[in-house]
Amino acid sequence: MIFPWMYATLFIYLLLFYPFLFLHDHLLLRYLLVAVNTGIFACVSYFIHSNQLSAWLGLRIICGSFMSGCGNITIFYIFFVLLYYYIQAVIQTIQGLSKGREFTQNWWIRTVTQRAESGGFNIWRR
């Protein structure tokens, strides 16, 4: 049985450490990209995290609402779905730099709640 947190964890690892998969000859560039990716991810996580809904719980809810019931099928598309939501979160974080953190937090809560309701996922199940 595959749980939503497994997809979210694998997505975060791939997001942060993908330079190790491709840049074999450029050691300095590889570590620089990992540092930049980690900084962007930390900034996005900080801006979307709130008392009502953390970044981690939101990723798990999104994964759970997109699960097909078969891990072999879900694995093909879940990373593209999570990448879409992550890019949207980066864009909202950039806007949140001028509009405030509360703007980004409210966007995250609204987005995850809408996705959970349309996917038939129980948002309060952890």
Spatial distance between the Cα atoms of 26 and 30, rounded to a whole number of angstroms: 6
Residue 23 maps to a domain: yes
pLDDT of residue 119: 66
- pLDDT tens across 33-90, in order? 889 999 999 999 999 999 999 999 999 998 888 887 777 778 788 889 999 999 999 9
Torsion of CA 16, 19, 21, 23, to 10 degrees: -170
Query: Is residue 73 assigned to a domain?
Result: yes
Range of the domain at 26: 4-119
| Residue 31 within a domain | yes
> Quick check: is 14 in a domain?
yes
| In a domain? residue 126 | no
pTM, entire model: 0.84
Domain count, the chain: 1
